[in-house]
Amino acid sequence: MMKIKFLLTAILCSVVGFAQSVSLNDYKAVIIPLKYEFMKTDNQYRLATLSKQNLTKAGFEAFYANEQLPDGYTDRCQVLYMDVVKDNAFLVTKLFVQFKDCFGQVLYTSEVGRSKEKDYDLAYKESLDNAFKSVYALHYKYSGTPVATARTTSPAKAPAAAVAATTTVAATQIVAVTPSPDLKDPNLLYAQPTESGYQLIDKTPKVVMKLLKTSQPNVFIAIKDNVQGSLILKEDGQWYFESYQNDKLVSEKITVKF
């Protein structure tokens, strides 16, 4: 019994240590979606605009998801991705802010901002402003050390790889056979690990394709827009999504960064 308690304590300490080792200060900027999940239209209630204003006030460099990023931001894993979540409540508008990394992992969640205003525009603005009070308290300042470099060189951040050993092995195999993609390609998709394989997202970020692992690291079962096919790495070093449409084999080149 004591051994089990010791093991659980050690695992908990490792997870907490990893969470604490990730600092928002290691990220160069924040990407803001034009529409959060609870919104019906882009920039409804001016939430995208208000998000950027608050981020700038908090010291972050911020870009909308549809903006062309300037030179120096070619690696999407060196920037944060902002999300605003609505907490349903009666007669009260509640919002909180989340910052995620390029794999969709939540790195920070703000305090819940509340408003009792009945006018939607006023209520969402007040709620977001109140949620950002805890973000201001972080006193963000870019460290100058890109997070991608810190994560791959620091032994203290190894527990994350240990927790997902099988995913890491699979990713290593894929990287070994995949050429470096053109990071400036506007159609570039980014692979996020899942339990069964990967999901490919664009810069929005929006899930474009789901991949299921096979016995071959260069072949996936792929699902795109409810069409099932295969994603194959061919001899020219490019990935292709192949599927049958109207009884004809269609091959589409896909640029992927694993």
Q: Tens digits of per-residue pLDDT, 81-122?
A: 999 999 888 889 999 999 998 878 888 999 999 999 999 999
Q: What is the pLDDT of residues 238-258, one digit of tens each?
A: 899 999 888 888 999 999 887
φ, ψ of residue 23 in degrees (nearest 5): -110, 135
String of DSSP letters for 2-21: HHHHHHHHHHHHHHHHHHHH
Domain count within the chain: 2
Residues 220 and 172 in one domain: yes
With respect to residue 141, please indicate whether it lies within any of the assigned structural domains: no
Six-digit token pair at 102? Answer: 């390029």
Q: What is the pTM of this model?
A: 0.55
Higher pLDDT, 185 or 169: 185
CA 195/CA 149 separation, integer angstroms = 26
Range of 250's domain?
Answer: 164-257
Residues 101 and 204 in one domain: no
CA 232/CA 221 separation, integer angstroms = 9
Q: What is the pLDDT of residue 140?
A: 96
Residues 129 and 52 in one domain: yes
Residues 183 and 234 in one domain: yes
Q: What is the pLDDT of residues 133-152, one digit of tens each?
A: 999 999 999 988 877 544 44
Under 8 Å between Cβ of 84 and 51:
yes
With respect to residue 57, please indicate whether it lies within any of the assigned structural domains: yes
Residues 114 and 170 in one domain: no
Residues 93 and 176 in one domain: no
